[in-house]
Amino acid sequence: MAIKIIVDTDIGEDIDDILVTAFALVSPEFDVLAITVTDCDVHARSRIARRLLQVVGRPDIPVGRGYARCLPSSDLAGKPNDGMSQTELAPDEAGLPPESPLPADELIGRIAADHPNEISLLTIGMMSNAAQAFIRYPDAAKLKQVVTNGGNFGPGRDTTIGWNLRYDPVAAATVARGPVPWVLLPENAMSATRLREEDVQRLRDSTRPLPQLLVRAIDLWKKNKRDAGPTPHLSDLNTLAHLLGGWIEDEPGRVYVTVPPRGEKAGLRVELDPDGPHRLGRSAPPERGAALRELLLERLLNAT
């Protein structure tokens, strides 16, 4: 049976979100039950997610607009396009499937209630939606697990907090202490895995709608994001790699998120512990990353 997932994302900012979400949508191993969006201009992120769903022929998948600001704020209204690079993919609502009437946290709770202990929530953006779901909707505790891309840690590396945890450390700490098993994967797990120039060219040469949309997203990312790399990275792919099994190993442990005074950087500490409540991922060997990149390209190029 396909793995039931909800993708919680800040799609439209860095490039890996749209590539990884597209991969999940066109892969038979995954059953995407919803996409929820978070961080800053959630209106624009929602439009980009629905544009992607339209192109892959899945306008039936609900998109829940989530939290624009970190806890303890309850702001759903959105903020300016801070960091957005791909807004032009869907500049307005024209022709898009409608947004879910449910906000992201309620949508997560409803789906978890309908599929108890079956849903993996993938957080590849700040963790406000996940934490607010646990706080506001008790049924969210029926999730099978939360799988997060966040943090830099592992043998030979200093442990530092990753962007997806740093944006809302209160939310990350809430999930760490929450009722659902948490898998934390290092942001550098797929550090050796990027799309190469020849990979982008393969997408560019395709006349199919999905590769053309993704090439447009890549071009906008390189044009508009100040710290865009030379080629698209695939950091968020670690979450799907973990669910597929055999690509990224993990082991039991404990995660501690330090919530700092305002204006200071949050902290992260991880430790291996056979009795720990969390799972800690490792980095993928380069050859596995290369094989997974090829699988991703194959799926994106052949999507109908």
CATH value at residue 150:
3.90.245.10
Does residue 79 have a pLDDT over 60?
A: no
The predicted structure's pLDDT at residue 222? 96
The predicted structure's pLDDT at residue 265? 83
Q: Edge-to-edge, what's the strand order for the sheet holding 250-258? A: 63-65, 30-37, 3-9, 120-124, 145-149, 182-185, 278-281, 250-258, 267-272
CB 56 within 8 A of CB 23: no
Q: DSSP secondary-structure letter at 233?
A: B
The predicted structure's pLDDT at residue 286? 87
Axis crossing angle, helix 128-136 with helix 169-176, rounded to the nearest 10:
50
Quick one: pLDDT band at residue 75, thresholds 50, 70, 90? low
The predicted structure's pLDDT at residue 126? 93
Kindly give, in sequence order, each residue whose CB lies less than 8 Å from that of residue 205, ignoring residues fewer than 6 positions away.
none
The predicted structure's pLDDT at residue 72? 65
Q: Is 228 exposed, middle or buried (0-12, 13-18, 19+ CB in 10 A)?
A: middle
Q: Which domain holds residue 120?
A: 3-302
The predicted structure's pLDDT at residue 90? 97
Domain count, the chain: 1
> Max Cα separation, the chain?
52
Least confident piece of the model among 67-76, 87-96, 130-139, 162-171? 67-76
> What is the DSSP track for 135-176?
HH-GGGGG-SEEEEE--B-STTS--B--HHHHT-HHHHHHHH
Work out the average pLDDT over 198-202: 98
94-148 pLDDT, tens digit per residue, is 999 999 999 999 999 999 999 999 999 999 999 999 999 999 999 999 999 999 9
